[in-house]
Amino acid sequence: MKFLKLSVAVAALGFLSACQSPPIQMGDPAAKTVATGSAAGSTTAGANSALERCAAPLGTVSLIENVDAPWYYTLRNEYRLPPTAGLLRLMIQQSNCFVVVERGASGMAAMNRERALQNSGEMRAGSNFGKGQMVSSDFGLSPDITFSANDTGGAGMLLGGLIGGGAGRALAMVGGATKTREASVLLTMIDNRSSVQIAASEGSASKTDFGGFGALFGTAGAGGLGAYTNTPQGKVIAAAFMDAYNGMVISLRQYKAQEVKGGLGKGGQLPVGR
């Protein structure tokens, strides 16, 4: 029996060594999120047809990354995903609903570095990095992940126990490796001049991965690969944000400002006793 197992293992290794790795595929659909393609100004290429669009921009917007929130720690340290700003910037520019302006720490540092070089006299004449060049941000968009979880497939494991034997063990392996990944997110938009909340939208997404066949053959998951394009949880989070953004755009197309009698911030209609 030991000789038979050894023979099978040697044969398997020989088969694997004879196989050639497939060539790298640029633009492979399996590596994409729902946020696909590119954007340059108001022009887009390869954008997801499910993304809501606007005929003209509604203003300028900057992304607010709440790095102190508990969800941000989970995103960066547990899921090994990059900040959500890059993902949302692509969606926003492709939608043509807002013009995105940079307010992130690294981006602002790069712009300030260029201005410091200008002030030091190192720039060529006519570089025009003087004051009055930056565009103001009309609105701030704040993302939040309100719920994100991986759910293992306990049903397959239960059935495997009921069936028993080799078939039962195989079914249990399939069920144990089957995961339903879910994410729920929230987008909030504020007016940077008045601090008034303009809009809020919730989005969600889920996906069931039948990974049991990989478990049967002993393959491992991607694990520590950290990007929205190559982790199942990252792809679900990206889809949830597109769902939320689409809902926000639909509401903003019919936007009507909230009015308070007497004016905003002047006492309101809920007076208190003296």
Instruction: Give me the residue spans of the domains in the chain.
Output: 34-108+134-149+183-203+227-253
Q: Which of 157, 213, 144, 218 is nearest to 183 (CA)?
A: 144
The pLDDT of residue 39: 94
Cβ distance 38 to 51 under 8 Å? no
The pLDDT of residue 171: 46
The pLDDT of residue 140: 98
Distance CA 262, CA 268 (A): 7
Q: Output the six-digit token pair for 46.
A: 């390869």
Q: Which of 45, 29, 38, 59 is nearest to 229 (CA)?
A: 29
Distance CA 153, CA 150 (A): 10
pTM reported for the whole predicted model: 0.74
The pLDDT of residue 28: 52
For every one of its 274 residues, what pLDDT tens digit does the chain have, with 9 covering 90 and above?
555 555 545 555 555 445 555 555 545 555 567 888 999 999 999 999 999 999 999 999 999 988 899 999 988 888 888 889 999 999 999 999 999 999 998 899 999 999 999 999 999 998 888 888 899 999 999 999 998 776 644 544 444 455 555 555 554 554 455 677 889 999 999 999 999 999 999 999 988 766 543 333 333 333 322 347 667 788 899 999 999 999 999 999 999 999 999 999 998 998 888 7
Task: Reduce the DSSP state of residue 93 to 3 states and report it.
Answer: helix
Cβ distance 186 to 244 under 8 Å? yes
